[in-house]
Amino acid sequence: MTTDQMHNAARVLRAEIHHARGDGRTWQDIAATLGIENPGSVYEWAIGPRDRRHGARAAWWTRSTCGLHVIDHGPYSTNPADNEEEHAHGCARHRRELDAYQAH
């Protein structure tokens, strides 16, 4: 495989990961699909270099149900409100995650 082919494969995989996040898959789901134990490792690889638009290392993805860009800080906090920003008001998926967190 050439260097260009490897870069193209990485670009495609990163795009698929972002689409999976937009479709509601968790970092844990994605890591399991890739056969990787640590979801944080998948996140770190997927975000690549520092995101210049937000000034910090973060992923962003487009929510498939509302079309908004969500800023994703990774699978590090147990509180979903700490992990993701910019969900649409009333986002059902984010509300379910917050409710599950608060129920514990």
Which positions ≥6 away from 42 have C-beta within 8 Å?
17, 27, 30, 31, 34, 36
32 residue type, one letter? A
pTM: 0.79
Q: What is the pLDDT of residue 56?
A: 62
pLDDT per residue over 3-47, tens digit each?
999 989 999 999 999 999 988 899 999 999 999 999 999 999 998
So what's the pLDDT on residue 1? 86
Q: Mean pLDDT in the chain?
A: 86
Mean pLDDT of the 58-74 span: 83
Residues contacting 77, CB < 8 A, separation 6+: 83
Query: What is the per-residue pLDDT for 39?
Result: 95
Which has the higher per-residue pLDDT, 70 or 38? 38
